[in-house]
Structure 1
Amino acid sequence: MNVYFILFLGFFAFIEVNCKSRNSKSLGTCPKLDISSVCVVDYKFNCLFQKQCPTGYRCCTYGCNRRCAAVTVNKNHLGSCRNSSGKKGKRCKKDKSCKRHEKCCNKRCRRVRKKIAPVRYPIKK
């Protein structure tokens, strides 16, 4: 095998491991895979890179695609109760008992942002 090819692969692996571990905590954690998602290509929502997602969202695997999904940072849900909408959800004491796009407001889970956000720079067909 070519020595340069092996060096290239080693360098690429080093960059992948080090960059992912440094950025993963600051970007938040992706939601668990939703297997029931339909595989539809919608260029307004499909992301390839993190820079396509708005603040508070991360380019995550979503079904068979990648979407800008609402994340939690250090188990804290982003958003404000002032911006809550929709009907009141289940009872709660802390944010961690609510879904990622919800926040515990007045002892009820309330939606404070969208579960999936459109990308900032859609990929053209």
Structure 2
Amino acid sequence: MTNGQRAMEIINKYGFDFSHIPKQEIIDLIQKEIVNYQPGSSEYIRLLCGYLYCLGDRSDIPLLEKAKYNINMDVGCMIDREWIDSLKNGGKETQFTGSRQDIIDGFVSYYKVFQPEDEW
């Protein structure tokens, strides 16, 4: 299964109603990817980390940082630093960080039109 297909599988399973997405399942999937990284999985890991941001709080910062900085440069570039900064500052808009709601809206908007690369 390709990176894009794996991402679509997650989108189809969980959707974007964050009040009904089990946070622990997302955490488990991220931890699994960190331990067993599959080359070409940057988009999939980005999606999982985005879900965790949308569901998360300050306690999730270490896992997001681990995914961003400890897998490889490709994955690191895909995970938005803004998500980490937003969790650190309580979701407040700053000069360099949008409001938590704006960031979530942008994430949802991006993935609502997402298509796996083999469908382009």
Superposition TM-score, scaled by structure 1 size: 0.23
Tell which has more relative contact order, 1 or 2 (C-alpha 8 A, sep 6+).
2
Answer with 1 or 2: which has the greater Rg: 1
What is the TM-score with the length of structure 2 in the denominator? 0.24
